[in-house]
Amino acid sequence: MAQLSDIVRKHVDAAIAEAGENKYPAEDVARTLISFAVQTWRENRDTQAVADELRYILENLDPDQEYTFMRP
């Protein structure tokens, strides 16, 4: 069985490629994907739950950030 991230990556790569062929930058694809993700979340979650999800993502953007629960 395929990993979910592999399935999504395949479609994201295809969307970026097609958008590029139509002179749209990858950043615009990402922005549009975020809009669709939020729309999808709102189908089954309340606004606060969506905001919490986005806040968590924002608070964990830095891949080099150390967390207190992590050991050196």
Q: What's this model's pTM, rounded to 2 decimal places?
A: 0.78
- By CB atoms closer than 10 A (0-12, 13-18, 19+), residue 15 is middle
Q: What is the pLDDT of residues 8-66, one digit of tens each?
A: 999 999 999 999 999 999 999 999 999 999 999 999 999 999 999 999 999 888 888 77
Return d(Cα 16, Cα 25) in angstroms, integer. Answer: 8
59 SS3 class: helix
20 SS3 class: helix
